[in-house]
Amino acid sequence: EDPKFTTPPTSQTGKAILYAAEKLRSSDIPVAFPTETVYGLGADATRDEAVKNIFAAKGRPTDNPLIVHVGSIKQARELLRPANAPPSEKYDIPEIYLPLIDKFWPGPLTILLPLPKNSVLSPYVYSTQTTVGVRLPSHPVALALALTSNVPIAAPSANKSGLPSPTTAKHVREDLYKLVELILDGGSCNVGLESTVVDGLSSPPAILRPGGISLEQIRACKGWEGVVVHKEDSANGTGAGSNVAPRAPGMKYKHYSPTCGVRLYLPDADQPSLHELKATAFGSDSKVVRLGVLRTRNWKELSQKDRDWLADQNVEYVEESLGESGEEISRNLFGALRRMDDEGVVIVHIEGVDEDMEGLAVMNRLKKAASVVIRKKASS
């Protein structure tokens, strides 16, 4: 049994995929679908209007290029062929990527391929870039959709631009209600964070966005021993204004933020005391304020006595554990951030993790979501 099937397929699954594939092929209406990372909002990447509709539905800046999803390596290779070249001619994926493809496809890895002069892709997919990000997902529904429709599927995460990416069909519905006609429900996403975006065309090769495949895993591949993690110019949009096209255009925008304020504690900082918690619950009038805490590896759950003390101070308290392993924390993170908003939390305190293995992608997302980052106190 495939553990990636978090929702057992029903007799309707096949029908729904066929219907969605037909929609992709013959209309400009985007279709939301599950992948192993997060849900995507997909369109036929060769149709200008369909791709434009994705940007409109998400409220996404048009200079942030989309990832193209394929159902096979053959489909990926097709993207290298100029539109006017005969199908008989063979175009090869740059050699540097072969060890990665071997190990991590299908899976949460996006590679940048060079665009041919006359690409079949809509220019709205890649904007000002000379490359296109391509991914072969492992989720059976995503694969089936790409294979059945037999078109390259341009798909960003299916959230409103700026919000945490959706890891369930319900999240998609909440964000894009009325803007999307069809959501294929594949249960909750197994990885929970977006794919790792790598550029093997630069020297040294680079990770442009940390994600579901770790730096350590990539570094272990032939030709990738010297891989660097691309330093973002700015997480909050102030990097705009440079006249050089950003290498990872999406990274300059504010991202992944719940509506509530996020206080991120680096692993060397102490768990906040009751008084510190209370101090962040502004509005010291008699109004009740709701605080959230997301724990990972070391923070202790509050005792009933502590909760009672907070309640006496008019502070309500919502707490969750994201899990202990990197995999669990990745899988739970976006859903937990959304739950904090749903629960009416005003400020959430989050216990950060070390930036190795899955921790690099987790902390990348959390630092973007954070309004305040708390480090070890200088005196201690």
Residues that bind ligand TXA (CB under 6 A): 35, 37-38, 40, 64-67, 108, 110, 112, 126, 129, 131-133, 135, 155-157, 194-195, 197, 208-209, 247-251
Name the residue nearer to ligand TXA (CB basis): 139 or 263.
139
What's the distance, CA 108 to chain centroid? 10
Binding to Mg ion in span 139-198, by CB under 5 A = 157
272: left (phi over 0), alpha (psi -120 to 50) or beta: beta
What DSSP line would sit under 325-345, residue for residue?
SHHHHHHHHHHHHHHHHHTT-
Can you state the angle between helices 326-342 and 358-369, rounded to 10 degrees?
A: 20
How many residues does the structure list for the chain? 380
* Cβ 41 to ligand TXA shortest distance, Å: 8
Residue nearest to Mg ion (CB): 157
C-alpha torsion 114→117→122→123, nearest 10: 80
Residue nearest to ligand TXA (CB): 250
Instruction: Answer with the entry of ligand TXA, Mg ion, none that 132 interacts with (C-beta below 5 to 8 A by kind).
Output: ligand TXA
Name the residue nearer to Mg ion (CB basis): 194 or 351.
194
Instruction: Answer with the entry of Mg ion, ligand TXA, none that 126 interacts with (C-beta below 5 to 8 A by kind).
Output: ligand TXA
Name the residue nearer to ligand TXA (CB basis): 208 or 291.
208
Name the residue nearer to ligand TXA (CB basis): 17 or 347.
17
Measured distance CA(116)–CA(67) in Å, rounded:
16
* Cβ 86 to ligand TXA shortest distance, Å: 26
Instruction: List 133's β-bridge partners, or say none.
Output: 67, 112
Measured distance CA(374)–CA(369) in Å, rounded:
13
Name the residue nearer to Mg ion (CB basis): 53 or 157.
157
| Rg, the chain, Cα only | 22
* Cβ 156 to Mg ion shortest distance, Å: 5
Residues contributing to the site for Mg ion (CB under 5 A): 157
